[in-house]
Amino acid sequence: MFVLNVIANIDYEMKKYILVLLTVLLSLNTHAQEERKIPEKLPTKFENSYTFPLGSKILLELKEKKNGKYEYRVLNVEKIEGYYSFEANENLFDENQKKNTVEIYFMGAFYNEGKEDKDWKTLLMMRNNLENPIDYKADIKYYFKEEFENTSIVGAFPNAKTNEIWTHKIDFITLYNFENLKIK
Same domain membership, residue 73 and residue 22 = no
Q: Are 66 and 27 spatial neighbours (Cβ–Cβ below 8 Å)?
A: no
Same domain membership, residue 75 and residue 10 = no
Q: What is the DSSP string of 48-96?
A: SEEEEESSEEEEEEEEE-STTBEEEEEEEEEEPPS-EETTT----S-SS
Same domain membership, residue 145 and residue 171 = yes
Residue 8 pLDDT class (50, 70, 90 cuts): low
Does 16 reside within a domain? yes
CA atoms of 154 and 152, how far apart (whole Å): 7
| Average pLDDT over every residue of 16-24 | 48
Same domain membership, residue 139 and residue 76 = yes
- In this prediction, residue 21 carries a pLDDT of 45
Does 69 reside within a domain? yes
- The sign of the torsion formed by the CA atoms of 118, 82, 145, 167 equals positive
Same domain membership, residue 166 and residue 79 = yes
Residue 25 pLDDT class (50, 70, 90 cuts): very low
Does 168 reside within a domain? yes
Lowest mean pLDDT, pick from 29-33, 64-68, 80-84 = 29-33
What is the tally of structural domains in the chain? 2
Domain interval for residue 10: 2-34
